[in-house]
Chain A
Amino acid sequence: MKIFNYRLIIFALSIIFGVVFSIPSLMQTDSGKKISLGLDLQGGLHMLLGVNTHEAVTSKIKTIATSVKYFTDDEDILIDSLAIDEESITFTVLDPDELARMDEMLAKIKGLEISKVNTDYTVKLTSEEIERTKDLSVSQAVETIRNRLDQFGLAEPTVVRQGTTDIVVQLPGIKTAEDEKAARELISKPANLELMAIDEVRADQVYTMSEAEASQYGDIILEDTKNAAVKYLVKEIPILSGSQVIDAQVAFDTANQPIINFTLNSSGARIFGDFTGKNVGSRLAVVLDGKVYSAPNIRERIGGGSGQISGGFTVQEAGNVAIALRSGALPASVKLLEKRSVGPSLGADSIKASTIALVSGFIIVFIFMIVYYRRAGIIANIALVTNIFIIISVMAMFGATLTLPGMAGIVLTVGMAVDANVIIGERIRELLKQGVSVPKAIEDGYSNAMRAILDANITTLLVAVILYAYGTGPIKGFAITISIGILASMLTAILGTHGIYEALASKISKDKDLKKWFGVK
Chain B
Amino acid sequence: MEFFKSDKIYNFMGKRLPFLGFSSLLVIASLVILFTKGLNFGIDFAGGTLVQVQYEQKAPIDKIRDVLNETKYKGSSITEFGTPEEVVIRITNTSPDIANDISDEMHKILDSTGSFEVRRVDMVGPKVGNELREKGLMALGLSLIVILIYVSFRFEWRFAVASILALAHDVTIALGAIALVGVEVNLDILAAILTILGYSLNDTIIVFDRIREGVQTSKESILDKVVNESVSKTLSRTTLTSLTTFFVVVTLYLFGGEIINGFAFTMLVGIIVGTYSSIFIAASFLVQLKFSISDYRAKEAEKLKKQKEKDKLRAMYEQGTV
Residue ranges of A at the interface with B (Cβ–Cβ < 8 Å): 47-50, 177, 180-181, 184-185, 187-189, 334-343, 345-346, 349-350, 353-354, 356-357, 360-362, 364-365, 368-369, 371-373, 404-405, 408, 411-412, 414-416, 418-419, 422-423, 426, 429-430, 433, 448, 451-452, 455-460, 462-464, 466-467, 469-475, 478, 482, 519-520
**Chain B proximity of A447: nearest CB distance (Å):** 12
The answer to whether B122 and A340 touch across the interface, beta carbons within 8 angstroms, is yes
The answer to whether B247 and A415 touch across the interface, beta carbons within 8 angstroms, is yes
Which residue of chain B has the shortest Cβ distance to A338 in the bound complex? Answer: B128
Per-position binary interface string of chain B over residues 1-44, scored 1 when its CB falls under 8 Å from any chain A CB and 0 otherwise: 11000110000000000000000000000000000000000000
**Chain A proximity of B147: nearest CB distance (Å):** 6
The answer to whether B122 and A339 touch across the interface, beta carbons within 8 angstroms, is yes
State the CA gap A412–B248 with chains docked (Å): 7
State the CA gap A49–B101 with chains docked (Å): 13
The answer to whether A422 and B237 touch across the interface, beta carbons within 8 angstroms, is yes
**Chain A proximity of B240: nearest CB distance (Å):** 5
Chain B residues with CB under 8 A of A430: 6, 233
Among A459, A469, A473, the residue within 8 A (CB) of B150 is A459
Chain B residues with CB under 8 A of A414: 248
Which residue of chain B has the shortest Cβ distance to A364 in the bound complex? Answer: B247
Chain A residues with CB under 8 A of B188: 404-405, 408, 474
Among B198, B237, B256, the residue within 8 A (CB) of A463 is B198
Chain A residues with CB under 8 A of B117: 343, 345
Given contacts A340-B122, A345-B117, whether A188 and B99 have CB atoms under 8 Å apart is yes
Chain B residues with CB under 8 A of A423: 206, 237
The answer to whether B147 and A459 touch across the interface, beta carbons within 8 angstroms, is yes
Chain B residues with CB under 8 A of A343: 117-120
State the CA gap A418–B237 with chains docked (Å): 10
The answer to whether B260 and A475 touch across the interface, beta carbons within 8 angstroms, is no
Residue ranges of B at the interface with A (Cβ–Cβ < 8 Å): 1-2, 6-7, 52, 54, 95-99, 101, 103-104, 107, 117-125, 127-128, 132, 135-136, 138-139, 142-143, 146-147, 150-151, 154, 187-188, 190-191, 194-195, 197-199, 201-202, 205-206, 209-210, 213, 233-234, 236-237, 240-241, 243-252, 254-257, 259-260, 263-264, 267
The answer to whether B127 and A337 touch across the interface, beta carbons within 8 angstroms, is yes
Among A188, A408, A419, A460, the residue within 8 A (CB) of B252 is A408
Among A47, A346, A349, A452, the residue within 8 A (CB) of B210 is A452
The answer to whether A412 and B249 touch across the interface, beta carbons within 8 angstroms, is yes
The answer to whether B201 and A460 touch across the interface, beta carbons within 8 angstroms, is yes
The answer to whether A188 and B139 touch across the interface, beta carbons within 8 angstroms, is no
Among B1, B143, B195, the residue within 8 A (CB) of A466 is B143
State the CA gap A450–B209 with chains docked (Å): 10
**Chain A proximity of B300: nearest CB distance (Å):** 14
Chain A residues with CB under 8 A of B209: 451-452, 455-456
The answer to whether A187 and B139 touch across the interface, beta carbons within 8 angstroms, is no
Which residue of chain A has the shortest Cβ distance to B132 in the bound complex? Answer: A472
List the 3 closest pairs (A to B, CB-CB), nearest first: A415-B245, A361-B248, A353-B257
**Chain A proximity of B186: nearest CB distance (Å):** 9
Chain B residues with CB under 8 A of A362: 248
Among A47, A360, A463, A519, the residue within 8 A (CB) of B146 is A463
State the CA gap A519–B142 with chains docked (Å): 42
Chain A residues with CB under 8 A of B241: 415-416, 418-419, 422
Chain A residues with CB under 8 A of B120: 340-343, 346
Chain A residues with CB under 8 A of B136: 470
**25 A-B contacts (beta carbon < 8 Å):** A185-B99, A335-B98, A336-B98, A338-B124, A340-B122, A343-B120, A353-B257, A353-B259, A368-B244, A372-B1, A372-B240, A405-B187, A415-B241, A416-B245, A429-B6, A430-B6, A452-B209, A459-B150, A459-B151, A460-B202, A467-B139, A467-B191, A471-B191, A474-B188, A519-B1
The answer to whether B255 and A357 touch across the interface, beta carbons within 8 angstroms, is yes
State the CA gap A140–B51 with chains docked (Å): 32
Chain B residues with CB under 8 A of A412: 195, 245, 248-249, 267
The answer to whether A459 and B191 touch across the interface, beta carbons within 8 angstroms, is no
Which residue of chain A has the shortest Cβ distance to B195 in the bound complex? Answer: A412
Which residue of chain B has the shortest Cβ distance to A462 in the bound complex? Answer: B146
**Chain A proximity of B233: nearest CB distance (Å):** 7
The answer to whether B248 and A339 touch across the interface, beta carbons within 8 angstroms, is no
Chain B residues with CB under 8 A of A365: 244, 247-248
Which residue of chain B has the shortest Cβ distance to A339 in the bound complex? Answer: B123
Chain A residues with CB under 8 A of B244: 364-365, 368-369, 415, 418-419, 422
The answer to whether B198 and A452 touch across the interface, beta carbons within 8 angstroms, is no
Chain B residues with CB under 8 A of A336: 95-98, 101, 123, 125
Chain B residues with CB under 8 A of A177: 103-104, 107, 118
Among B52, B98, B122, B202, the residue within 8 A (CB) of A184 is B98
Chain B residues with CB under 8 A of A411: 248-249, 252
Given contacts A337-B127, A364-B244, A460-B198, 11 further A-B contacts (CB under 8 A): A188-B98, A341-B120, A341-B121, A350-B257, A364-B251, A414-B248, A455-B209, A466-B142, A475-B187, A475-B190, A482-B195
State the CA gap A430–B237 with chains docked (Å): 12
